[in-house]
């Protein structure tokens, strides 16, 4: 069963991912209000992998609610820390608004006036839904990179869409098959359609999230190939995170790609951005997945370890030491 995905951009944009392709609409959240609420009252404080986390809860929260929320946040932080080698930022404020439903989200993350996130949570959400949740890790991924101009929202949303399942798999929260299932089923939604003018100028849901995710998958492959298997996209993203300090910084895409490319001694990020930002580029996903040794057989994701890039595919979801 397809899950309804509410996805946000780090600049405060909200869309429902199960809805038809449409332009992104601004969120009603005010980051100044969220920031002030977090300063006034914090129910939970704890440290995870070098990051200090403060959680405020809007709505009457029982002791059990607080325990469940802390476990949920810690689980997400564990996954994102696996990928980046530490928590996304040094200090993060999270406002959880409790409601009477049983869903997680929507959520929005900002880098100004500080690294903060607002997420809605149904009081009746099940323990299994919290355990399997992807929204928290998606938002934590937004914390890790500097903010970029709004025209390049795809750069940030594509990154969070691509990294989130991988981070969870590296921590053992997802199987590799579940990670690559999303590439098989969802990445085709990111291909350009009639009238497309490139990623920086085509702000539909499919291009923003899955077109952006394809950019990062192509970067993953290009970095691996150009370095002879020495480096991964993860190395570039860790370097961007360290250099920028996360989403309290505001960088151009060019500056961000420069730092990432320098870390892996190549130019994959910059050249892919230059190729795709102003014109439509259709990706042969069938060939890409075959090179990685990924296929779907009778509804199941299968791996071929004889494929040319099978080693890369295996390494992507394998836990790596902090750098």
- The first and second tokens of residue 58, run together, are 């809007």
Structure confidence by residue, pLDDT tens digits, 248-290: 999 999 999 999 999 999 999 999 999 999 999 999 999 999 9
Using an 8 Å Cβ cutoff, are 79 and 170 in contact? yes
pLDDT at 153 over 50: yes
DSSP state of 228: T
Distances in whole angstroms, Cα of residue 164 to Cα of each of 113, 218, 243? 24, 16, 21
Q: What is the pTM of this model?
A: 0.91
* Strand bridging mode 91-99 / 51-58: parallel
What backbone torsions phi and psi does residue 47 show, to the nearest 5 degrees? Answer: -115, 140
Task: Measure the CA–CA gap between 220 and 255, rounded to whole angstroms.
Answer: 19
Across the chain, mean pLDDT equals 90
Helix orientation angle between 153-170 and 63-84, rounded to the nearest 10 degrees: 100
pLDDT band at 222 (very low <50, low <70, confident <90, very high): very high
Select the more confidently predicted residue: 302 or 28.
302
Average pLDDT over residues 162-184: 97
pLDDT at 15 over 90: no
**pLDDT (0 to 100) of residue 38:** 86
pLDDT band at 36 (very low <50, low <70, confident <90, very high): confident
Average pLDDT over residues 65-91: 97
What percent of the chain has a predicted confidence (pLDDT) above 70? 91
Average pLDDT over residues 222-228: 98
* Distant-in-sequence contacts of 201-204, Cβ < 8 A, 24+ apart: 201/151, 201/278, 202/280, 203/23, 203/24, 203/151, 203/153, 203/154, 204/21, 204/22, 204/23
Task: Measure the CA–CA gap between 311 and 293, rounded to whole angstroms.
Answer: 9
Task: Measure the CA–CA gap between 206 and 77, rounded to whole angstroms.
Answer: 27
**pLDDT (0 to 100) of residue 28:** 53
**pLDDT (0 to 100) of residue 181:** 95
Helix orientation angle between 285-292 and 176-186, rounded to the nearest 10 degrees: 160
Structure confidence by residue, pLDDT tens digits, 92-122: 999 999 999 999 999 999 998 899 999 999 9
The closest alpha carbon to 96, from 77, 126, 68, belongs to 68
Average pLDDT over residues 51-61: 93
pLDDT band at 34 (very low <50, low <70, confident <90, very high): confident
Average pLDDT over residues 314-318: 97
**pLDDT (0 to 100) of residue 11:** 39
**pLDDT (0 to 100) of residue 109:** 95
Task: Measure the CA–CA gap between 144 and 156, rounded to whole angstroms.
Answer: 10
Q: If you count DSSP H runs as helices and E runs as strands, how many of each does the chain have, helices first?
A: 13, 10
């Amino acid at each position: 069963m397809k899950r309804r995905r509410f996805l946000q951009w780090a600049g405060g944009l909200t869309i429902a991912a199960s809805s038809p392709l449409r332009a992104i609409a601004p969120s009603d959240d005010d980051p100044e209000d969220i920031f002030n609420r977090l300063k006034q009252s914090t129910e939970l404080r704890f440290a995870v992998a070098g990051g200090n986390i403060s959680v405020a809860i809007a709505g009457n929260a029982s002791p059990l609610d607080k325990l469940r929320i802390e476990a949920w946040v810690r689980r997400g932080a564990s996954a994102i820390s696996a990928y980046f080698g530490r928590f996304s930022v040094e200090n993060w404020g999270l406002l959880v608004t409790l409601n009477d439903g049983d869903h997680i989200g929507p959520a929005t993350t900002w880098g100004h006036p500080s690294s903060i996130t607002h997420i809605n949570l149904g009081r009746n959400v099940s323990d299994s839904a919290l355990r399997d949740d992807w929204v928290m890790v998606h938002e934590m991924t937004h914390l890790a990179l500097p903010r970029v101009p709004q025209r390049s929202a795809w750069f940030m949303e594509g990154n969070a869409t691509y990294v989130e399942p991988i981070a969870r798999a590296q921590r053992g929260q997802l199987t590799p098959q579940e990670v690559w299932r999303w590439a098989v089923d969802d990445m085709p939604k990111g291909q350009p359609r009639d009238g497309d003018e490139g990623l920086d100028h085509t702000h539909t849901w499919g291009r923003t999230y899955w077109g952006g995710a394809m950019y990062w998958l192509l970067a993953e492959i290009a970095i691996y190939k150009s370095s002879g298997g020495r480096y991964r996209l993860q190395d570039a993203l860790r370097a961007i995170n360290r250099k920028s300090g996360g989403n309290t910084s505001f960088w151009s895409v060019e500056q961000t790609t420069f730092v990432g490319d320098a870390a892996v001694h190549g130019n994959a990020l910059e050249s892919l951005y230059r190729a795709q930002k102003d014109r439509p580029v259709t990706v042969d996903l069938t060939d890409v997945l075959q090179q990685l040794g990924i296929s779907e057989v009778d509804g199941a994701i299968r791996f071929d370890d004889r494929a040319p890039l099978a080693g890369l595919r295996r390494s992507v979801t394998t836990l790596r030491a902090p750098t």
